[in-house]
Amino acid sequence: MKICVLHEEMDEFIEEYSGFSVYIEFKGKKILFDTSNDKKGKDILKNAKKLNIDLFNKLDYIVFSHGHYDHTNGLVALRGTKARVLAHPDCFERKYYQERFIGSPFSKEEMEKEFKLILSKEPYFITEDIVFLGQVPRITSFEGKVPIGRRENGEGDFVLDDSALSIKTKKGLVIISGCSHSGICNIIEYSKEVCKENNIYILLGGFHLFDKEVTDKTVEFIKKQRLEKIYPAHCLNNYAFSKILKIGGKRIHTLQTLHFEEGV
């Protein structure tokens, strides 16, 4: 397995520089997970070129964790890609924070015209070992309870489209999240349920941790898991980063390539 970081903000979350995008190769499948926040897409295109990654002709899937701009804006630069686009049905709804638009650059109707679009609330198996989780049940008492802005109809947006990618390996699950508005603990539990696997090999991505109490509960939850490697990335404050680094977490950075053994 290979994971290439096409964009990750620097050492702390600063909104205007926020974004996330990773490229994954596993058992012949090539997947782009999120497209970061640059509307011109120059970051991921430039970085993909540096890493010798073809996002137009050799990519199988573009998978979106959810519909916020810092994960979807880069799609503008990928018109013409042969890849299928996989997301939750609510991913391309219009979303606002106060009066500011924070949603995808494309509507659902535009997506259907521009791309090979697959929408699923249910777990969607790309292969028998790679699954997009769809809508993640919110079973913990401390995650996913606060709306992030509002939907176009004026209702609070609980980001029900927030999902993740789960990959089964012989060493356990590789779970890749974008922002974890649904809760990283909920994502872990749902990954284990869907994949029928309790061991977690790698946890990587955005964890949406800005509240001290939620961070402390999340760290305690993670410590109880059968988890070998953890890579906190997008959408954490300095306190959350420091707590996760203390339990063995390691930062990832733009242009970093991670290689992992699948197991025997």
Could you state, in chain order, the average pLDDT of each consecutive group of 10 residues for the chain (264 residues)? 88 66 97 88 86 96 97 94 97 94 96 97 98 98 95 95 97 97 98 97 96 97 94 93 96 93 65
Beta strand pairing call for 124-125 and 130-132:
antiparallel
CB neighbours of 252 closer than 8 A, spacing ≥ 6? Answer: 5, 8, 204, 231, 233, 258
Across the beta sheet with 172-177, what order do the strands follow?
124-125, 130-132, 164-169, 172-177, 199-205, 226-232
Q: What pLDDT is attached to residue 261?
A: 82
Beta carbons of 158 and 174 less than 8 angstroms apart: no
pTM value is 0.96
Q: What pLDDT is attached to residue 70?
A: 93
Q: What pLDDT is attached to residue 71?
A: 95
CATH superfamily of 2-259: Ribonuclease Z/Hydroxyacylglutathione hydrolase-like (3.60.15.10)
Beta bridge partners of 204: 176, 231
Q: What pLDDT is attached to residue 226?
A: 84
Q: What pLDDT is attached to residue 242?
A: 95
Rounded CA separation 199/192 (Å): 8
Q: What pLDDT is attached to residue 8?
A: 85
Rounded CA separation 53/216 (Å): 38
